[in-house]
Amino acid sequence: MEILKIDGSHGESGGQILRSAVTLSSITGRPIQIENIRKNRKIPGLRAQHLSAVKLLAKLCNAKVEGLHIGSSTIAFHPNQLQDMSLQENVGTAGSISLILQVLIPAVALARRKLELSIIGGTDVLWSPTGDYTKHVLGEAFSRIGINFSMKIKKRGYYPKGGGIVDVLVHPSKKLNPIFLTKQNTKDAKVLCSHSGIYDVESFVDDVNNTLKKNGFSAQSQINEQPAQNQGASLVVFSQDSTSINGADELLDFKNKDIFGKKCQNSFLESNLGVDTNLSDMLVVPLSLINETSVFTVREISEHLQTNLYITSKITGCKYGVGKIDNGYEIRIQGNSDSSIQ
């Protein structure tokens, strides 16, 4: 099969193109070459978390990979058939476990395979979804599509030391379903806070609960103190009903500790359509492989969403449309199911 060349500097020029491209390559069996990886970033090329994601996926599908090293700007990925596997991995830094799972979970599940994974790295770090967001928000959305996984966060890993431990079990998908997430009807929200060594975290959670209640939500909260190699805290607010899944998360910034929770609560309250902005781009890869049309609404079109719509249409041939609606946008994706996942 002819190799497909992809410009990694397209759109936001980050790791999103790499993650989505290798995921789809492993599922469809199409070899790809990604050039100009993270070209416009302060530190271009592959970083540790990108390396771990590609390396793990390559193990799962016995892929031949060229250019797989820190700082590499070009890789070629030649996949073979995905296999059931049990793996252990240490990212070696506070690199995001959640971003690695964005690659592995859909690839394994959509290929009708099973994965048992124990991974060490960052569970709650900058520029990526927190572990709780991945478990509760992405997990709910994926389950409606037909992608099921369990995730146990045994130890938290905050920046800069990392060292978090997560056990993940990914199940083979049995039936893939389109989604229709277009309107938030619920006023029930959940607030989860996890921390290591933050003595006054309860006051921040109380402030978030009170703000949610003032805006008409009934809030259930839970605070978990968990071991970690250094101090840290994360907060996630989420809600779900039959036509919406919305969530927002935040990390404790020690330089601005007094406002911990404000960004998270405000982002959640603004996400009052079918899905939140961060979730929207995570849905595109699996939806691009479902023949039926999926529909969801979102407040804004992020660069990550634009990037994923571009890369999935290029690899799978799916069709998509973006329409303006009151207070946001409607996204329609007509997938193109690959024979390898039938």
Cα–Cα distance measured from residue 187 to residue 189, given in angstroms and rounded to the nearest whole number: 6
217, 246, 270 — which closes off a domain? 270
Shared-domain flag, residues 265 and 297: no
Shared-domain flag, residues 306 and 339: yes
**pLDDT value of residue 311:** 93
Q: How many domains in the chain?
A: 3
Q: For 283, which DSSP code?
A: T
Per-residue tokens: 308: 């994923």
Shared-domain flag, residues 241 and 282: no
Shared-domain flag, residues 237 and 298: no
Tens digit of each residue's pLDDT (9 = 90 or more) over 152-193:
999 999 999 999 999 999 999 999 999 999 999 999 999 999
Mention every residue, 6+ apart, whose C-beta is less than 8 A from residue 200. Answer: none
CATH classification at residue 253: 3.30.360.20
- What's the mean pLDDT in 298-313? 94
Which of 236, 241, 210 minimizes the C-alpha distance to 223? Answer: 236
Q: Is residue 107 part of a domain?
A: no
CA distances from 61 to 56, 118, 134, 199 (A): 9, 18, 24, 45
Shared-domain flag, residues 325 and 258: no
Cα–Cα distance measured from residue 259 to residue 57, given in angstroms and rounded to the nearest whole number: 39
Shared-domain flag, residues 262 and 192: yes
Peptide bond into 160 cis (omega under 30): yes
Which pLDDT band, with edges at 50, 70 and 90, does 25 fall under?
A: very high
Shared-domain flag, residues 324 and 295: yes
CATH classification at residue 328: 3.30.110
Per-residue tokens: 317: 């041939």
With a threshold of 0.85, does the pTM exceed it? yes
* DSSP labels, 189-233: EEEEEEEES-TTHHHHHHHHHHHHHHTT-EEEEEEEE---SS-EE
Q: Is residue 282 part of a domain?
A: yes
Q: Is residue 219 part of a domain?
A: yes
Q: Is residue 93 part of a domain?
A: no
Shared-domain flag, residues 256 and 289: no
Which pLDDT band, with edges at 50, 70 and 90, does 13 fall under?
A: low
Q: Is residue 139 part of a domain?
A: no
69 is a catalytic site residue? no
Shared-domain flag, residues 266 and 299: no
Q: Is residue 283 part of a domain?
A: yes
Cα–Cα distance measured from residue 173 to residue 263, given in angstroms and rounded to the nearest whole number: 35
210, 244, 270 — which closes off a domain? 270
82, 108, 135 — which closes off a domain? 82
Considering 50, 78, 136, 304, which one is annotated as catalytic?
304
Q: Is residue 317 part of a domain?
A: yes
Cα–Cα distance measured from residue 105 to residue 138, given in angstroms and rounded to the nearest whole number: 11
- What's the mean pLDDT in 309-337? 95
Structural contact between residues 178 and 140, judged by C-beta atoms closer than 8 angstroms: no
Structural contact between residues 94 and 125, judged by C-beta atoms closer than 8 angstroms: yes
Shared-domain flag, residues 297 and 250: no
Which of 41, 65, 43, 39 minimizes the C-alpha distance to 54? Answer: 65
Structural contact between residues 302 and 280, judged by C-beta atoms closer than 8 angstroms: yes
Tens digit of each residue's pLDDT (9 = 90 or more) over 218-268:
999 999 999 999 999 999 999 999 999 999 999 999 999 999 999 999 999
Structural contact between residues 233 and 251, judged by C-beta atoms closer than 8 angstroms: yes
Shared-domain flag, residues 249 and 185: yes
Shared-domain flag, residues 258 and 280: no
* Parent domain of 192: 181-270
Q: Is residue 71 part of a domain?
A: yes
